[in-house]
Amino acid sequence: MQKKIITTNKKAYHDFLIFDKFSAGLVLTGTEIKSIRKGAINLKDSFVKIEDMEAFLYNAHISLYEQGNRFNHEEKRIRKLLLNKKEILKMLGKVKQENYTIVPLEMYFSGRWAKLDIALAKGKKLYDKRDALKKKDIQRDISKAAKR
């Protein structure tokens, strides 16, 4: 199936070291999926929390659907993620024992279904962020020199 990316969480790649990635489905309402198809979603400050062996997405902002009526959705409501029990147990163990965080990386359409890539991650220290910026600058300078 073809993967059509809707949005990526660039802040997650900047603030965290990414380890294991998982793909999860989402439980959405009708107006939410219509807004997502328009690209009106922001994963910037969102995170995933596991409660009672179920994963939930917090702080993901899906804008209101303009043609929606009184049945329109809340913009920052908590959304359930669809994952296997095995995946949830793996993530829960890493989060509790090794202080990992679960962050959403990107949302995409796989066929007609909206999916979310999530990852186990650890927060970067300030010096790690500086190193990443330095490497990015060096790579940019190299590519500019190669173009000349």
Mean pLDDT, consecutive 10-residue stretches, the chain (148 aa), reads: 86 88 91 87 91 93 81 84 93 89 93 91 82 88 89
Predicted confidence (pLDDT) per residue in 57-79, tens digit: 999 998 888 777 777 888 788 99
The per-residue pLDDT for 99 is: 85
Determine the Cα–Cα distance for residues 119 and 48; give it in Å rounded to an integer. 9
The per-residue pLDDT for 103 is: 94
Please give the backbone phi and psi of residue 52, each rounded to the nearest 5 degrees, phi first: 55, 45
The per-residue pLDDT for 1 is: 66
The per-residue pLDDT for 129 is: 79
The per-residue pLDDT for 72 is: 81
Predicted confidence (pLDDT) per residue in 120-135, tens digit: 998 888 777 788 888 8
